Every structure is written in structure tokens, then in C-alpha cells.
Amino acid sequence: MRNVTVTMEDSVAEWARLEAARRNTSVSRLIGEMLAEKMRHDDAYERAMREALEFKSFGASEGRYPTRAETYTRGQRG
């Protein structure tokens, strides 16, 4: 573990102190846990985004996609 110095507004420091007391932990541990949760959340988001961008559409066509005009004129036939 590494010690770091964090600078914050007085109101934020007071909230952190009260929140840490409510959770029966130290401000240092509270901030460490919050940052670890943020890191896990961001990693999960990045992983989901990467998977979404790699996703291949179901029933993907081998040919070209129809133009906008072709798409709207198909429904008007017959």
C-alpha cells in the first residue's frame, strides 16, 4: 500500500470524515475503497464498450445495405 496526500475543500473533508465514521472506517480507507470501486466500474464500462464495438450484427448481409430511398420505397410497393 502507498500513502498519498489528498487536498480537498473543507466541506468535502467534513463529509468524508462523517461518512467514514458512519461506516466505522477511516477516511483513508473510505477514499481508497471509493477509488477502487470507481476503477472497477470504469474497467467494466471499457470492457463492455469494447465488446459492443466488436459485436457483429445478427443476420448480417453479405451485400450492400439499401439506400434510404430504397428502404422507404419498398413499403410503398404493391
pLDDT at 21 over 90: yes
CB 20 within 8 A of CB 29: yes
For all residues of the chain together, what is the average pLDDT? Answer: 87
Given its phi and psi angles, is residue 24 left (phi above 0), alpha (psi -120 to 50 degrees) or beta? Answer: left
Q: What gap in Å lies between CA 15 and CA 38, rounded to an integer? A: 18
Instruction: Please give the share of the chain, as a percent, with pLDDT higher than 90.
Output: 53
Q: What gap in Å lies between CA 12 and CA 23, rounded to an integer? A: 16
Instruction: Please give the share of the chain, as a percent, with pLDDT higher than 70.
Output: 86
Q: Which grid coordinates are listed for 43? A: 474497467
pLDDT digits (tens, 9 = 90+) for 30-65: 999 999 999 999 999 998 888 888 876 666 667 787
CB 20 within 8 A of CB 27: yes
| pTM check: above 0.85 | no
Average pLDDT over residues 3-31: 96
